[in-house]
Chains A and B, each alone.
Chain A
Amino acid sequence: MHDARDAEDKRLLEAKEHTQLLENYVYLVQEWAALRVRDRQASAEVVQRIFLRLASELAAGKSYSVPYRVVVWSVVSWTARGYEWTAKEGTTLPDGWDAPAPDEYEAWEAEHDLGTWIADLPDRERDVLDLLHREGLSPAQVAERLGIKRNAVDQATYRGHRKVAEKFRAA
Chain B
Amino acid sequence: MPLSTVDELFADYASALSRGERPRAADYLDRAGAEAAALATMIERFLQAVPRPAAATTEDSALLAAWLQQEPPLLELRRRRGLKRAAVVDSLLGLLGLAASSRTRLADAYHELETGQLDPMGVDQRVWSALTEILKANVRDFADWRPPPLAASPAYRFSKKISLGTKPDMDQYQEQAGDDVDRLFRGVS
Contacts and interface: CB of A to CB of B under 8 A. Distances in A.
Interface of A: 1-2, 4-5, 19-20, 22-28, 30-32, 34-36, 38, 40-41, 43-45, 48-49, 51-53, 55-57, 59-60, 69, 73, 79, 82-83, 92-93, 95, 112-114, 116-117, 129, 132-134, 136, 138-139, 154, 157-158, 161-162, 164-166, 168-169, 171
Contacts, number: 157
B153 interface: yes
B44 interface: yes
A44 B38 CA distance: 22
Interface of B: 3, 6-8, 10-11, 14-15, 18-20, 22, 24-26, 29, 36, 38, 40-56, 58, 60-61, 64-65, 67-69, 121, 141, 144-146, 148-149, 152-154, 156-158, 160, 164
Contact of B22 (A5, A19, A27): A27
Contacts of A169: 3, 6-7, 38, 42
Nearest to A117: B49
16 contacts: A5-B52, A24-B52, A24-B55, A27-B22, A30-B60, A31-B43, A35-B25, A48-B164, A49-B158, A60-B153, A112-B49, A157-B18, A162-B7, A162-B11, A164-B46, A169-B38
B5 to A, nearest CB: 11
With most chain B CB atoms within 10 A of its CB, the pick from A26, A36, A157 is A26
A136 B54 contact: yes
Contacts of A79: 158
A56 B156 contact: yes
Contacts of A113: 49
A59 B145 CA distance: 20
The SS class assigned to the B binding surface is helix
Nearest to B149: A52
B52 A44 contact: no
Given A158-B15, A168-B42, A23 B55 contact: yes
Given A40-B26, A59-B154, A26 B60 contact: yes
Contacts of A171: 45
Given A26-B60, A28-B47, A34-B25, 18 more contacts: A1-B51, A5-B52, A19-B68, A22-B68, A23-B65, A25-B52, A27-B56, A31-B24, A34-B29, A35-B25, A36-B40, A44-B145, A59-B153, A92-B158, A112-B48, A165-B7, A168-B45, A169-B42
A132 B64 contact: no
Nearest to B54: A136
Contacts of A53: 156, 158
Contacts of A134: 51
A169 B8 CA distance: 12
Nearest to A38: B29
A69 B52 contact: yes
A168 B10 contact: yes
Contact of A1 (B41, B50, B65, B153): B50
Nearest to B145: A48
A55 B152 contact: yes
B46 A56 contact: no
B58 to A, nearest CB: 7
